[in-house]
Chain A
Amino acid sequence: MTIERRALGEFEHQVLLCILRNGSESYSVQVVLEMEARTGKEVATAGVFVTLQRLKEKGYLEDRVVPPGEGGGHARRYFRLTPAAMCVLAESRQHYLSLWEGMETQLEQAWKRSRS
């Protein structure tokens, strides 16, 4: 059960990375904007909401509500990565890097072909 809970989906992965890129903490809109800027694709806001909540349930995110005035016109829920999330991201990066090792040239060529 614990192992299953710790498994990360692709979208969850992306959401965690976006929060990490934004600095220490982000709220939903920032995640959406960051994700769209990075991927160049439209993101379903509802999907982000559900994922943020799920990541919180899995113990990868902590949230705190910032009352109005401090962060803008209305209360916002800011999410921050937990140490477990940092850990799982680091692990995941390691796995991917080892899988990608030596594949750069091949990938580069495939990328160029698809663009042409």
Chain B
Amino acid sequence: MTDPSGKCEPPRCARSLLRLLVRRAIGKEYELALDELFEERSARDGIAKARKWYWRQVFGFVVRRRSFRRITEPGTHRRAVVTASLRRGSVLEALVQDARLCVRRFRSEPTFVATVAITLSLGIGASTAVFGVLSTTLLSRIPYAEPDRLIIGRTVYIGAPGRTFNGVSIPNYSDYRESSRSFESLAAVMDGINRVTVTGGDEVWSATTSYATWNLFRTLGVNPAVGRHFLPEEEHQEDLRVAIISFGLWRGRFGGDQEVLGRTMVLEGTPHTIVGVLPRGFRFLWDADVWRVAVRPGAARNMNAYYVLGRLRPDVSMALAQSEVTTISEALEREYPEANETSRLHLTSLQDFLGGGVRRGLLLPAVATACLLLIACANVAGLLLVRGQRRLAEMTMRSALGASRWRLVRQQLAESVLLTLPAGLLGVGVAYLLQPVLLHIAPMGLLGVSEPVVDGPVLLFVVAATLATGLLAGAVPALRGSAVAPLPHLGVGQRTPERHGGSRMRSGLVALQIAISVVLLVGSGLIARSLLHLSNVDLGFSTEQVYTAGVRIPSTVNQERSGDDPFFAEVLREIRDVPGVQSAGAISRWPVQSPGGIWPMRAANRPLSEGEHGERAYLRRISPGYFRTVDMPLQRGRDFLETDREETPGVAVLSESLAARLYPGEDPVGQSVILITPFPNRPEIPFEIVGVVQNARLNSPRVSGDPVLYLSALQARPTAMGIAIRSDGNPTVLFRSIREIVRRAEPDALITGVAPMGEIIDESLADFRRMARYLGLFAGIALLLAAVALYGAMSYHVTQQEHEIGVRVAVGETRPGIIGLVLRRGAGIVAVGLAVGLTFAYPGTTLVRDLLFETVPFDPTTYIGAVLVLTMVAAAACVLPAMRATRVDPAILLRGE
């Protein structure tokens, strides 16, 4: 190590260690002497040897530190001699001695060690699982090169209420790319994935696909595992399309064949040549099987369907880049006001963009986990306190022999830390089991993380958590256990009287555990009730006896059938003839499962004035018969008819809520609605309103009254529809018939998701259900730990009070009286725990408030339920020790006295 002046310096760490250990004048003198010798040695033997020598000298000092102290602090000499038996050698030696002593002691009490290990492993394991998942965002372990320089750009509208983000169009992206100087590279990626039908091989299959500009993977710093990147000129080749496929698709569909490059896949009738395979585990925003190049010619400037992904230059800050793109946004607004009015490109770091949702999703599990760890610590602290009480005589003896208080504390802390080591090991296993559950709860797929994360930083966390837990659980017992006055406890035999305050401390710890359990119970209770309400909510449509099947056809099929009946009209007609089928209909997107985009529209008789954006509503294409199949009654007008075709004027059915917004107080049937589109050739499309249908929950089971514009599927020839069938027949026979009918109509058609409709609704609640289970599990464990702690405290209390109980029995106290005595004490602890828990439960519900559905945060049923459950468990934990108290035989006890 050479400093800037070229002078040799001793190793910094060794020197810092030395300075840490010696502060007095003699230490300074020693340090200066070492420096001088170091210089001499580095000149003679070379720097490397001199550095090693320096380290040896520092260790030599550590070994002789006690002698040094004696020189510099002559007063300590005598005490050192007195406690020599306990304090011989260096700190390190003393620690080794402590550890040896602990291990010997643990061998004699395996049950105690196992109890502590199991209790703490739950807390440590759960914390590690949460940390493993969180650390991916916190430690920027996002699997792209230098992720801190990556940004995502989206459009925001200035002056719009709230902050809603929109995509960016390809022409706008091109302008940003050409005009900005802040980015090393600027790419664009579509803000979603499509499912497409793939033909051209032996069988028809479906794949997810997304579009990106040629430089997306280069910007991310990811190279294909096989083949090459997209090329710039491929953005302009409309006739020769290329694709890069995912590693999973390559292995699963192409058997990992190296010859895959150059093969052709026909996506929705368009041939694409495979030019590359992405590396294993790669995913960006979505898990697309096929990535295609966003082809630029003809792209509309108001088709905001892309996110911008940029890599900042190393010397450019986010703020600088933001100010630059804002200037470009303003220029674009001036140049293309019709497409870019009030729109600005807003930059977010990729880490925040991806991690924000994950962090929010993990907040609740993280808090629940912290609570569990705290309970586990309190539990073990309680156990250690009881143990400390038993070892009072030993501590007193040590103190009398000259052990300082610090020495006693150190030994007990070493013990509690050593006790947590097996828990740490078990915790890694627990974390491994819990992480898949967490990965389900948090949308980790976004981050490209799909497998449990147990790596270096996580293991480091385990070590840190284990040590911290050991210190936290051991601190109070160690401090209490070491504060001994030598005389009163010496010579006391087996039964040592409990010191004043010791039992209060332990009762306090039990009350703390009960309090935390109450908070967790209330939180999980509120979520469970919300789940119950959600499961029973009136969706506005019926799923009873309704079965679903997803059908997708290549887009070429519609062109081939241009003169005939639309494909779905034919299929539905045949399905309705199947025995047992009462009705059948089709819809473009299943309700609740995926809401789809929101489109602007207006009433025909009310043109939009300057600054108005019209009403916004979801859009669904449905076939005639769908409303009847899912039991959505029409409020006014009629359903779509078989005769509403492409050649007839467009017709629409409005949901009640949309009707009320477009035509408040009027009958909309017979009037028109204008759909405002981003297509330059047809900016406004009119539809005649033929009916109004009952509201249904379309976006999520939580929100009622979504405004929806239903359009006829027979007027558009869609390529993918969900078919809903109401049938009282055998589902297996029904599904077979559907497959046959679809295959007969179109051999290349793809059938997916054949299932009862109720499953779609269930799926949408799956995340919520998992969260409820997770919290419920934690609350259950917390309750169990609290109950065990209460049982332990009461058992110990009975043992301590045996003498008093014996006397009471001897003077004629009845059995119920004795039970009452013990229960009263338990009730006191439980009451304090409940009071504290209920006080904190209400503020604690702020975390779950967003998840609640038709349940108020102060739901009396939940609170009363939590109190009842806890009281019952607590009563069970107290009754056993109370019963034992009644069996105390005063004769034996008093004879012993």
Q: Which of A29, A42, A50, A77 contacts B67 (CB 8 A)?
A: A50
Contact of A50 with B60 in the complex, beta carbons under 8 Å: no
Stretch at the interface among B29-37, B110-118, B193-201: B29-37
Residues of the A chain whose Cβ atoms lie less than 8 Å from the Cβ of B37: 29, 32-33, 45
Contact of B30 with A49 in the complex, beta carbons under 8 Å: yes
Query: Which B-chain residue is minimally distant from A74 (CB atoms)?
Result: B32
- Chain A min CB distance to B22 (Å): 10
Bound Cα distance from A53 to B70, whole angstroms? 10
Query: Which B-chain residue is minimally distant from A57 (CB atoms)?
Result: B71
Contact of B33 with A49 in the complex, beta carbons under 8 Å: yes
Q: Quick check: is A44 within 8 A (CB to CB) of the other chain? A: yes
Residues of the A chain whose Cβ atoms lie less than 8 Å from the Cβ of B57: 44-46
Contact of B32 with A46 in the complex, beta carbons under 8 Å: no
Contact of B64 with A29 in the complex, beta carbons under 8 Å: no
Query: Which residues of B from 14 to 49 have beta carbons under 8 Å from A?
Result: 26, 29-30, 32-34, 36-37, 40
Contact of B71 with A53 in the complex, beta carbons under 8 Å: yes
Q: Quick check: is A28 within 8 A (CB to CB) of the other chain? A: yes
Q: Quick check: is A47 within 8 A (CB to CB) of the other chain? A: yes
- Chain B min CB distance to A14 (Å): 16
Bound Cα distance from A50 to B30, whole angstroms? 10
Residues of the A chain whose Cβ atoms lie less than 8 Å from the Cβ of B40: 29, 33
Q: Quick check: is B618 within 8 A (CB to CB) of the other chain? A: no
Query: Which B-chain residue is minimally distant from A44 (CB atoms)?
Result: B60
**Residue picked from B29, B33, B56, B57, most chain A C-beta under 10 Å:** B33
Contact of B53 with A28 in the complex, beta carbons under 8 Å: no
Query: Which A-chain residue is minimally distant from B54 (CB atoms)?
Result: A45
Bound Cα distance from A33 to B32, whole angstroms? 15
Residues of the A chain whose Cβ atoms lie less than 8 Å from the Cβ of B30: 45-46, 49
- Chain A min CB distance to B167 (Å): 69
Interface size range of chain A in the complex: 10 to 19
Main secondary structure of the interface of A (DSSP, over half): helix
- Chain A min CB distance to B137 (Å): 49
Bound Cα distance from A45 to B63, whole angstroms? 12
Query: Which B-chain residue is minimally distant from A52 (CB atoms)?
Result: B71
- Chain B min CB distance to A74 (Å): 5
Bound Cα distance from A32 to B53, whole angstroms? 13
Bound Cα distance from A67 to B572, whole angstroms? 106
Contact of B26 with A49 in the complex, beta carbons under 8 Å: yes
Bound Cα distance from A28 to B146, whole angstroms? 53
Bound Cα distance from A77 to B60, whole angstroms? 21
**Residue picked from A47, A49, A54, A74, most chain B C-beta under 10 Å:** A49
Query: Which residues of A from 19 to 47 have beta carbons under 8 Å from B?
Result: 27-29, 32-33, 42, 44-47
Tally of contact residues, B, Cβ under 8 A: 19
Contact of B33 with A45 in the complex, beta carbons under 8 Å: yes
Contact of A77 with B29 in the complex, beta carbons under 8 Å: yes
Bound Cα distance from A53 to B72, whole angstroms? 9
Interface flags, B63-77, vs A, CB<8A=1, else 0: 110011001000000
Residues of the B chain whose Cβ atoms lie less than 8 Å from the Cβ of A50: 64, 67-68, 71
Bound Cα distance from A19 to B33, whole angstroms? 16
Residues of the A chain whose Cβ atoms lie less than 8 Å from the Cβ of B26: 49, 53
Query: Which A-chain residue is minimally distant from B40 (CB atoms)?
Result: A33
Contact of A46 with B29 in the complex, beta carbons under 8 Å: no
Known: A33-B40, A74-B32. A46 touches B60 (CB 8 A): yes
Q: Which of B32, B34, B53, B64 contacts A47 (CB 8 A)?
A: B64
- Chain B min CB distance to A38 (Å): 16
Residues of the B chain whose Cβ atoms lie less than 8 Å from the Cβ of A49: 26, 29-30, 33, 68, 71
Bound Cα distance from A30 to B60, whole angstroms? 19
Residues of the B chain whose Cβ atoms lie less than 8 Å from the Cβ of A77: 29
- Chain B min CB distance to A86 (Å): 24
Bound Cα distance from A45 to B31, whole angstroms? 10
Contact of B68 with A45 in the complex, beta carbons under 8 Å: no
Residues of the A chain whose Cβ atoms lie less than 8 Å from the Cβ of B63: 46
Q: Quick check: is B61 within 8 A (CB to CB) of the other chain? A: yes
Query: Which B-chain residue is minimally distant from A27 (CB atoms)?
Result: B33
Residues of the A chain whose Cβ atoms lie less than 8 Å from the Cβ of B67: 50
Q: Which of B33, B53, B71 contacts A42 (CB 8 A)?
A: B53
Bound Cα distance from A53 to B40, whole angstroms? 24
Contact of A29 with B33 in the complex, beta carbons under 8 Å: yes
Contact of B64 with A46 in the complex, beta carbons under 8 Å: yes
Residues of the B chain whose Cβ atoms lie less than 8 Å from the Cβ of A27: 33
Residues of the A chain whose Cβ atoms lie less than 8 Å from the Cβ of B64: 44, 46-47, 50
Known: A33-B40, A42-B53. A47 touches B33 (CB 8 A): no
Residues of the B chain whose Cβ atoms lie less than 8 Å from the Cβ of A28: 29, 33
Contact of A46 with B68 in the complex, beta carbons under 8 Å: yes
- Chain A min CB distance to B84 (Å): 17
- Chain A min CB distance to B805 (Å): 61
**Residue picked from A28, A46, A74, most chain B C-beta under 10 Å:** A46
Residues of the A chain whose Cβ atoms lie less than 8 Å from the Cβ of B53: 42
Bound Cα distance from A49 to B57, whole angstroms? 12
Residues of the B chain whose Cβ atoms lie less than 8 Å from the Cβ of A46: 30, 57, 60-61, 63-64, 68
The chain B residues found within 8 Å of chain A, CB to CB, are 26, 29-30, 32-34, 36-37, 40, 53, 56-57, 60-61, 63-64, 67-68, 71
* Supplied contacts A45-B30, A49-B30, A74-B32, 9 more A-B pairs, CB within 8 Å: A27-B33, A45-B60, A45-B61, A46-B57, A46-B64, A47-B64, A50-B68, A50-B71, A54-B71
Give 7 closest A-B pairs by Cβ, nearest first.
A44-B60, A53-B71, A46-B61, A50-B67, A46-B64, A46-B60, A28-B33
- 8 contacting pairs across A/B (C-beta < 8 A): A27-B33, A33-B37, A45-B33, A45-B61, A47-B64, A49-B26, A50-B67, A50-B71
